[in-house]
């Protein structure tokens, strides 16, 4: 039976769920929670990530820390958005 850990701040600005079924885990969070994600141990592990948009999906792999890869990718997407406008 997997353990479920729910992390929530009182301000309601971030909600992060972590589902464990050793040796794997799944972290679900909003893009706005990126600053909070870096505070959890799971963000420092390698793994696969899935980004979900309204009608787009992106699956990637991080061979080092997932947080570093997500931050790098989101910065790149923001830069492309600025260049296209």
| pLDDT over 80 (residue 84) | no
Q: What is the pLDDT of residue 30?
A: 79
Q: What is the pLDDT of residue 18?
A: 83
Percentage above 90 pLDDT, the chain: 12
Q: What tokens were used for 66?
A: 């997932």
Q: How confident is the model at residue 68 (pLDDT cuts 50, 70, 90)?
A: very high
Q: How much is the pTM?
A: 0.67
Contacts of 15 by beta carbon, 8 Å cutoff, 6+ apart: 6, 7, 8, 29, 30, 33
Average pLDDT (22-26) is: 81
Dihedral sign of CA atoms 47, 68, 27, 2 in order? positive
Q: What is the pLDDT of residue 7?
A: 63
């Amino acid at each position: 039976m997997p353990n479920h850990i729910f992390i929530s701040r009182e301000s309601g600005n971030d909600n992060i769920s972590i589902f464990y079924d050793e040796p794997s885990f799944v972290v679900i969070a909003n893009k706005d929670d990126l600053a909070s994600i870096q505070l959890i141990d799971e963000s420092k592990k390698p793994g696969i990530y899935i980004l979900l948009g309204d009608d787009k999906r992106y699956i990637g792999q991080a061979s080092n820390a997932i947080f570093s890869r997500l931050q790098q990718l989101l910065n790149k997407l923001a830069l492309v958005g600025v260049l296209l406008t």
